[in-house]
Structure 1
């Protein structure tokens, strides 16, 4: 019988996952493509809001936006790139999320532009919307032999 390689979640794992989220400026978003039924991946600009929940600014013309409008279930992959070494050893966090359009982004626009100043060229175009990517659970790979399952509470998301 093979031993489960996933460890019991620790405070250090929770802290590492929250650090990855706090530092995140880009991520890979996986959606279910309604045209084919296959997963579709996109690299997106992504950061957390004041509550620590991932948010993205997405064009309504993009495949991933149309997919989320039909099926809000998605996945998000964020990583902490290292300066050198094998990328497979760099910490990374995968999340199962439920996406929803943020109808009234409030101060999120200013927060977004502070982190992504080049977004000023398109942030006010009529097809762009902010999306909340609410974590339903996740998986942290913090390096070789350091894998942890995470709940929304582990991520600091109520």
Structure 2
């Protein structure tokens, strides 16, 4: 995580939540209480809450069903010394996904992990969200901060129209505006040219991916509906084209 004079711990935490696709999930061994850690794939709820898809046959799932307290570590995955990169340790509880959110959670996870389509409907697999109680952020020397969920999660109560239109918007962007997506990645975020595609949008920004690479483009202001999203993306594309 690059050091800068202006350090915004809330933004750094949000970026790690949105960009991370794998993390270390710590649970408590059922019946013993010993710590147990495992590697899991991660996606994000529209508000930034981590989503995991795990099998009931896995040890960590059995642990969660006995004691829902968990910790999830997400890191920046930088080259070189990994301790030089940013990371968060999120503490909270793993919860079953409510039935009214299951369709949304499923599509957001599959947008982030298309290969999961092969097993997502197996009877032993279930989606869980990790409801944070707090986060411990380590973002470099002297930049260690504890945050409450209200400091890093994205409010979505006023964004129902956007969330209902999200998948259609993603499909349209990827089918008809891949040139703009590439401009967002290369001109606004400084990434190398690649087969960039949009994998998610929420009131605070959009998520982009090319293979294993993931980027986050924050909006300069909140977006809560599909027409506001269209205007925002057009404006960002114009800004990108104007960048030398």
**Aligned with residue 119 of structure 2, among 118, 122, 126:** 122
Q: CA deviation at 1:73?
A: 0.5
Q: Say whether residues 1:112 and 2:104 are aligned partners.
A: no
**Two-structure CA RMSD over aligned residues (Å):** 1.5
Moved over 3 A (4+): none
Higher helix share: 2
**Aligned with residue 43 of structure 1, among 39, 51, 76:** 39
Higher strand share: 1
Q: Secondary structure at the match of 1:96?
A: strand
The structure showing larger relative contact order (alpha-carbon pairs under 8 Å, at least 6 residues apart) is: 1
Retained in 2: the 8 A contact 1:135–1:157?
no
Retained in 1: the 8 A contact 2:91–2:135?
yes
Gaps of 5+ in 2: 1-5, 156-244
Report the count of equivalent residues.
148
Q: Secondary structure at the match of 2:149?
A: coil
User: Which has the larger Rg?
Assistant: 2
- TM-score calculated relative to the size of structure 1: 0.88
Distance 1:128 1:103 in 2: 15
Q: Secondary structure at the match of 1:113?
A: helix
Listed one character per residue, the Cα deviations across residues 120-144 of structure 1 (whole Å, up to 9, x for unaligned) are 1110000000001000001000012
Distance 1:68 1:91 in 2: 27
Retained in 1: the 8 A contact 2:51–2:105?
no
Retained in 2: the 8 A contact 1:24–1:46?
yes
Listed one character per residue, the Cα deviations across residues 92-116 of structure 1 (whole Å, up to 9, x for unaligned) are 0001011111142122222211110
